[in-house]
Structure formats: structure tokens, C-alpha cells
Amino acid sequence: MHDDVVVRRAGAATVTVDPRDGARITSLIVDGHELLHPGSGGGWTYGSFVMAPWAGRIRDGLVVHDGRALRFPRDPDDGHGLHGLVHSAPWATTGPNSWSIELPGVAPDADLDVTLEDPAWFAPTRIEQHLELHEDRLELLLEVTAGTPVPATVGWHPWFRRRVAGAGARIELPAGYMLLRDEEGIATDRRVEIPPQPWDDAFGGLTGPVAVQWGELLRLEIDHDGPTTVVYTGKDHAVCAEPQTGPPDEVNQHPRLAGPNAPVRLTSTWRWSRP
């Protein structure tokens, strides 16, 4: 099928997906208001993009699995590998509301440096995204399968505007704990009380959805079936609330495996309403 930009409408909601840009949600408009920070050209500073086969940071851009090491590009400012391999790559359109991308497996006999221009994983790996737009919500699904079991953590990284129609964004985070980051900025297993903002951290033990509320204009609740939400509030123009199947660097610390008959799956519902 063709890979043109897809626009879907339901009631007063419109969502736009660009398969050529990582099947990224480039626009989410509700009641005439754009909720996502705009951009173009790839990268991880706009829209809502898929993170896979890892989410967030991997220490030093290195992943070790089954006695093998793969090295990935490191962000020059952060020093770690960020946000996976598929956020800016072209995806195939597989249905009216579905997209997929295939990562090849690396050769089995050597460690390898992997680039974003020529991405690969430990074995052939397929990542699928599906969405359904309704008048009051957006339903999303990610699924990862592989030819042989490989580590996989997935998630979405939305950039929500700080201000919409003059109303400032406020984050509601009903989490039970934060995972303390070490001196290199990588989340550890240590659970601590939630400190004041700004955050660039992984949270768990949620008792309800994370919410972004723009004054009396609009409320957006982000629910998902994964154990981890990363929240980023370090910018003046946008905030991020990221549903994930696990914390950053999980592929190294406590990897969950995606195999041919054991997919790693994540579902999320973004529901909007007037406060």
C-alpha cells in the first residue's frame, strides 16, 4: 500500500500519521486545538514517535544480549543511546490504521556498530503500530515480534504543547514512586519518593492515568497497560508523558524478550474531555 501521510477524523478530533517519519503522529487536534508540538525532519523533538526496540536511554549506547554486544550512536550531549532505531525511519503501511517496520538481524559472528541509517537488532525483528481514533479518545497498540527471542522495550514519546490557546499545561502524576537515576542519568531499581519538578524520570505504581490539563480548556488522560511512565518537564515549550513497557536501559538490566510466539505488546488510550 502507499505510504502517504494519513489523516483520520472523528467528531472534533483529527490525527495525522506520517509513515515516512517513523509512523509518527505529527498532529493531534481536538476542538480545533493542536496538542502536539510540531516539527519535521526526523529526530526526537516533536510529534509523538515510537520508541523501539528500546525506550529512553541505553547506557553508553551499548546493548549486550546472549554474549553479544551491539553499539549504537550516542547523543553528544546526553552520552547515551536514545529512543531506539525506528523513530525517523520509513514504515510500511499495512492497513488503513496500521504500520510496520522490519529490523534485520546482525551477523551472528561479530560485535557490530549499528547506525540509524542502517538499523539492525540481534535477530530479525518486526514492530507494528495500530491506532483507532474516536470522538473522545485515541487508542494505540504497539507489538514487537522476532525470529528468535530478543530484548525489547517499547513506548511512545509524545511532545505536548506547554500552552494551548493561552492555557498553560499542568501535569497530574498519580504515581507511587520514581526510579532514582544514577550519576550517569540512567534509571536504577531504587524506588524513591517523587521530588518536585522538573522531571526527566521513570515512574511506576500508578493509581490512574497521567493527565495533561490546559487550564479550563482541555484535559488529556494518558492510560496504558505498561508498568512505566517517563515524564519530562525540562523544556519551556512542551511536556512529555511517555507510556512504556519498562524503564530506560531495561534491555540491559532486566530484559523482557520478544520472540516469534511471545510478542512484547503495549496498549495506550489517550482520552480528552473538558475539565
Q: Tell me if 179 is assigned to some domain.
A: yes
pLDDT value, residue 116: 87
pLDDT value, residue 3: 72
Q: Tell me if 1 is assigned to some domain.
A: no
pLDDT value, residue 110: 60
Which residue is it, cell 496498549?
Answer: 267
Q: Return averaged pLDDT per consecutive 10 residues of the chain, 275 residues in all.
A: 84 98 98 97 96 98 92 94 97 97 85 86 97 98 97 98 98 98 97 97 98 98 98 97 98 96 97 95
Q: Tell me if 206 is assigned to some domain.
A: yes
pLDDT value, residue 140: 98
User: CATH number for the domain including 20?
Assistant: 2.70.98.10
pLDDT value, residue 111: 63
Q: What is the span of the domain harbouring residue 113? A: 6-273
Query: How many independent structural domains does the chain possess?
Result: 1
Q: Tell me if 245 is assigned to some domain.
A: yes
pLDDT value, residue 166: 96
pLDDT value, residue 272: 98
